[in-house]
Structure 1
Amino acid sequence: MEGRRTFIRRMAASTALLGVGATGLSGCTSTAAGMGDSGVAGFRHGVASGDPLSDRVILWTRVTPAQAGEVAVRWQMATDPAMQQVIAHGSVITSAQKDYTVKVDAAGLLPGHVYYYQFAVDSEKSVVGRTKTLARGDARQVRLAVFSCSNYPAGYFNVYADAAKQDDIDAALHIGDYIYEYESTGYACGNAEALGRVSEPRDLLLRMDDYRRRYAQYRSDPDLQAVHAAMPFITVWDDHEIADDTWRDGSVDHKASKYGPFELRKLAALTAYHEWMPIRVPDMSAPDKIYRSFDFGGIVSLHMLDTRLIARDQQLMMSSYYDEHKHFDVEKYKQDVCSPRRQMIGREQMAWLEGQVSRSNARWQMLGQQVLMARMEYPTAVVMGECSCTDYSALKKRAAADPSCVTPKEQRWLSAPTLPCYLDSWDGYQADREQVFEMMQKHRKNLVVLAGDTHNAWASDLRDAQGKQIGVEFATASVSSPGMEGAYPDRDPEDVANMMVDLIEPLYYAQTSKRGYMIVTASHEQVRCDWRFVDTVLKHDYTAATERSLRVRAGPGNRRIEEC
């Protein structure tokens, strides 16, 4: 069977013939320019597949119409990239009501098999996509590519380009912030004009057409098209698919008096998400309910969670714990972040997860979700602004070398407890986190958590409130969104990463200045994580390399991060 690299070269050549440029197209208005006898202007947003099961997979494309009206789109699947050995085919109608997107749940497939697929309208054909069904029963290993935080104006999608060239990836996970909702003058847009990547539409995304146009712009990117065409995707949203720091009933920057009801904005965002992503909706009556599981043979049960929309309570604000004398109420703060009334994923999703975990016979329980689950607590003196991260790190080293040189004030800093301060993560919803940990202990499971959101790469041991080792978390860097390098522009990034590891007790590894993704390889014996980074997102010429590899081994005596 044709190798992935050969297939990618063919697919890239086909994409070039369609005239997809580096700067992309807005995609929601169309013209007859370049139109053949098909009556459509092409498949300008590529093809994609997603939510693979052992016998089926979602196939996706979008037609760029020449004029308004319904369009009949044919599809077919084959066992060869030349599309000669066709094993399934059909036709589907799309229209403006669906933003001319097409979704097919192609069933009747064999487990653990590679398939190829293509769409057509009359004589106009899409590029050929490659997908793969999930293995059933025993498999030797599972390889997953993991992405997060792809910001179009921040830089080129070189990370996607590198991932599309990888061999033997079973599926890609995108765990949130697939798009960003900001206006063209908003976050991370400093280089957008020079790169030809100014956000469209120019204004903040509020209405359905706004979100549709933003997805169309992202999906016009040739590197994003390449990775979608090369492997099936399994996705969940985070906040920026809707609005910054979204929670159940709002967002940190959504003002109803200015933008209208948040529910209308959320519905518009979710409608566009389901149109443009190759996702199977578990419940058509509840489009916000996207938690679902995927079983990769007997190796991995992957549970994709929603930590953002269906149940999350509003984030706490540290500023509200200061009184009029600027005294911080530490005890009240700790009580609130640990309150059992605060929900991250909600009781219904928690019960569903326990049911999935308890019934699973897989070697590994893997959570694909958005925000950091590991404890990222900082020393109280740092949180209170009494001491900088840099100075505290230096103090720890000085105290270790010569305890006699530490002043009484510095000793109080060193002996004070740590405090959570990233309250949009699981640190702000600790009762739910403890419930997940208790679940994994009760059912004696090997736990690996995958996270994104922060734009930086992390590896942490997961420990419960009593300090017991539960599992590990691997967190990916961003595709293009800037990381912590902006906070420490004059410091060596390696020193910054070492400082973070020194400050945060469960943290084992950090990379705070590079864009990249993870390749997670699971076998019966271990789960290995390889962090791959590109050297730039500001030009198309780039190099990519695996910078760090860590693993976790199965069994109650292990379940902690180790060197490979």
Structure 2
Amino acid sequence: MKNIAALLCLQLCFLPAFAQNVPAAALPPEVINAVKNIKPWEQVLQQQPDALHGNIINHSRNNAAQLGVLPYDTLYAPFYHGVASGDPMHDRVIIWTRVTPQDDNPVPVQWYLATDPDMTNIIQTGTFTTDADRDFTVKVDVTGLSPGTTYYYNFAALGVTSMTGRTQTVPAGNVNHLRFGVASCSHYQQGYFNAYGRLADRTDLNAVIHLGDYIYEYGPGTDFSTDIRQYEPENEIITLEDYRTRHSLYKLDPDLRRAHQQHPFITVWDDHEVANDAWEHGAQNHNPGEGDYDVRKANAIQAYFEWMPIRDPEPGQPRRVYRTMHYGNLADLIMIDTRHQGRQEQVEDFTDPAYSDPNRTILGETQYNWLIDQLSNSTAQWKVLGNQVVFTTINTLGLLDNADMWDGYPAERQKIAHLIDSLQIKNFVVVTGDIHLGIAADITLDPQTGYNPATGEGAFGVEMVTTSITSANDEVLPDIIPVDVAQNLALNANPHAKYINIADHGYFVLDLTPQRAQADWYVIDTKLQPSAVENYDAGRYTLDQTSHLITTTEPALPIEGAPDPAPVFTTVNQPQGSHHSGSVLFIAAYPNPASGGEVHLHYAVSKAQNVLATLHDATGKQLAVISNQLQQPGIYTLKFDTGLLPNGTYICRLTAPDGSTAGRKIVVQR
């Protein structure tokens, strides 16, 4: 195979020279002989019928059918990734979906917005045309809406109507009660997204605040990974196609899909949306041989804005995630970016002279000035900072490297503390992700000598940290340190900490009223298999005008009169045969066009059966069998080398014994 590929490369390089009548004497004899001896690619396939055979990777658990977590359901076709909404404002909200067509033609998508879950009172509609340039995602900024109102929405394309989603706008004026789900760190390989399912079950959340690490960039077997579920693509993601495919895999998860269906999301990225321990111009997990980091970062950001329900910037403006949502007079939700906007590189340790640099920044000058303006001019009762890495100083007992947190950028944190003190800003609440632990703490820069643990004197705010959806926490501890011992050690070493959970996975609910701000942590019973069980773990609250967390054993009361949830999806006016309803599905092909290298075909199988993959030319003539084997229900990658194929258009076709077929056009273009 290597010899054939090398000869084909020679052919591609030198045929233009022959076409221009370059004298044979101008070429070395070995090149002339090599070109003369190249066999037509069809002859190669006849002599080596396995030359285009591909490798298949299964990204789903073998017993997915028994667990009820099939990779896709033909019921949702062609909206397999569900619907989502986000970035609500007083008069507008983003609605999102993704269409999965079985060809590469542009797709016009109709969208509808109604005031009822049955979609009978439609108040707005429009058309959005999507195509391969945006990976067939659809994002609409619906304007002209009323504040504090619940809406329902869906989409229609290719003769099919999607599931209905529920969203709501931000209330204005006098607001008495707000509730947010707060989540972060969902590592696909490390477990099932049961916590997202429990968030979906809640009906009285104003929104879900997602603080980053929505996806992870890793390949297999890294970062304490397990083989509970397999990544797609299997490799560490670097290219635009890689990041798009990883986002696609996540949104096929039934629990995450349902959470997006029921609630608007307000999201920021953390490091793993690009690469581990990222800073503005690099990352710990960007290594030699992985190309230009700025290109990788641009790929990740493009895919993020395509696949997430976040508002796109105005034309000509950079894509950024720091922004403020004004929830009437009760709360300003100030979302910041401590990763990719202006962060300087992390120090190796706190003896590095850069650590003490008074100009050292985690936000960058532009974002820092913006944040100071937001805090200084906020008139809302609660100033809620949506933040990625732990803000308060923390003693990790050497178990975690905190140079990546705000502890690694003390000068900028001190400036913020000074501003809050000098302006007498009250009710400063920080909500945080990243660390995979549940933490509640009073915010102080000197917890040992400048702070009173009993009264909170010396604190200037409170911080609530969500544990992870699935990402490893207690798994990183040595077996010789029991979880309860480690938690007690951490509490004793951090007198300003009022709650620490290093062992569980879940989320917390942030409940805001004029009287207090309360966080209630909920944990799931397992991430190792699908489960609907969750338990209330702890509650901590701070009173108006104070910066001191108090323990409660009762969760805050839900909002009265919660709106109806979005309905469970069933087909709506689906004409027979109007959409893909077979048991095999093409999701994506990349890179496409291919430059003569390896092509990855991303597809799914809904039941156990033999799947035949064949390659055809543009006329439909079968050229080769790429794969022919029994496959269980799951999400798959089929990889094959296009090095033998001349430039042109090809069709890859999947065929199942039940008559289901799926095809995708592949272009080879060098």
Same fold (TM over 0.5): yes
Cα shift at 1:341: 2.2
Mapping for residues 277-288 of structure 1, pairs under 5 Å: 277-288=308-319
Q: Does the aligned pair in 2 maintain the 1:281–1:290 contact within 8 Å? A: no
| 1:292 maps to amino acid | R
Matched AA of 1:425: M
Question: Offset of 1:289 from its aligned partner?
Answer: 2.1
The 2-side partners of 1:421 and 1:63 are apart by: 42
Distance in 1 separating the partners of 2:421 and 2:237: 42
- Which of the two has higher C-alpha Rg? 2
Deviation at 1:226, TM superposition (A): 0.5
In the TM superposition, residue 167 of structure 1 has moved relative to its aligned partner by: 2.7
Map of 1:274 onto structure 2: 305
Aligned counterpart for 2:369 among listed residues 337, 351, 372: 351
After superposition, the C-alpha distances for 1:101-141 in whole angstroms (9 at most, x for unaligned) are 00000011111111000000142111000001110011111
Cross-structure match for 1:316? 347
Q: Could you say which structure has the greater relative contact order, defined with CA pairs below 8 angstroms and 6 or more residues apart? A: 2
Match of 1:425 among 395, 400, 405: 405
* 2:257 aligned residue: 225
Q: 1:293-340 deviations in whole A, cap 9, x for unaligned?
A: 00111111010000001110000002xxxxxxxxxxx7x45x643321
Q: Deviations over 1:332-383 (max 9, x none)?
A: 45x64332121101121111112222222110101001000011135xxx65
In 1, Cα distance between equivalents of 2:530 and 2:401: 37
Equivalent position of 1:362 in the other structure: 380
- Tell me how far 1:191 sits from its aligned partner: 2.9
Conservation of the 8 A alpha-carbon contact between 1:294 and 1:301: yes
- How far apart are the structure 2 equivalents of 1:169 and 1:479? 18
Letter of the structure 2 residue corresponding to residue 189 of structure 1: S
AA at the equivalent of 2:244: R
- Give 1:281 shift: 2.8
Deviations 1:79-99 (A, max 9, x none): 001100001110000000000
Q: Give distance in 2, aligned partners of 1:560 and 1:284.
A: 44
Contact 2:197–2:532 (8 Å) recurs in 1? no
Partner in structure 2 of residue 254 of structure 1: 286
Q: CA deviation at 1:184?
A: 2.5
**Cα offset for 1:497?**
1.1
TM-aligned CA distance change 1:203 to 1:122, over 3 Å: closer
Q: Which position in structure 2 is the counterpart of 1:161?
A: 197
Q: State the 1:153 CA deviation.
A: 1.1
Matched, 1:458 2:432: no
Cross-structure match for 1:295: 326
Q: Distance in 1 between matches of 2:508 and 2:266?
A: 15
Alpha-carbon distance in 2 for matches of 1:288, 1:86: 32
Match of 2:335 among 282, 300, 304: 304
Conserved? CA contact 2:224–2:475, under 8 Å? no
Deviation, 1:461, is 1.0
Post-superposition offset of 1:553: 1.1
Of 469, 479, 497, which residue of structure 2 is paired with 1:479?
469
Contact 1:43/1:61, CA 8 A, preserved across alignment: yes
Local SS of the residue matching 1:372: coil
Counterpart secondary structure, 1:311: coil
Distance 1:134 1:528, change over 3 A: same
Residue 447 (structure 1) aligned to one of 428, 431, 452: 428
1:457-498 Cα deviation digits (max 9, x unpaired) = 011111135653100100000000110343043544222211
Distance 1:117 1:542 in 2: 26
2:548 — aligned with what? 560
Is contact 1:531–1:546 with CA below 8 Å preserved after alignment? yes
Preserved CA contact (<8 Å) 2:270 2:339: yes
Residues in 2 aligned to 1:125 and 1:83: alpha-carbon distance in whole angstroms: 11
- Cα pair 1:288 1:309 within 8 Å, conserved: no
Q: Which has the larger helix fraction?
A: 1
Mapping 1:140-219, distance limit 5 Å: 140-192=176-228, 197-219=229-251
Q: Is the 8 Å Cα contact of residues 542 and 549 (structure 2) preserved in structure 1? A: yes
Q: Give ranges in structure 2 of 5+ residues lacking alignment.
A: 1-66, 452-457, 553-670
CA offsets 1:403-438 (integer angstroms, 9 cap, x no match): xxxxxxxxxxxxxxxxx9510000000111112222
Percent identity of equivalent pairs: 37
Large movers: runs of 4+ above 3 Å: 282-288, 464-467, 488-492
Deviations 1:135-156 (A, max 9, x none): 0011111100001000111111
Q: Answer with 489-498 or 293-302: which moved more.
A: 489-498
- Find the counterpart in structure 1 of residue 140 from structure 2: 104
* AA partner of residue 533 (structure 2): T
1:288 Cα deviation after fit: 4.2
Contact kept, 8 Å, 1:247 with 1:314, in 2: the verdict is yes
Which residue of 517, 521, 532 corresponds with 2:507?
A: 517
1:266 and 1:422 map into 2 onto residues whose CA distance is 24
1:57 to 88, 93, 103: 93
Tell me if structure 2 keeps the 8 A contact 1:235–1:279.
yes
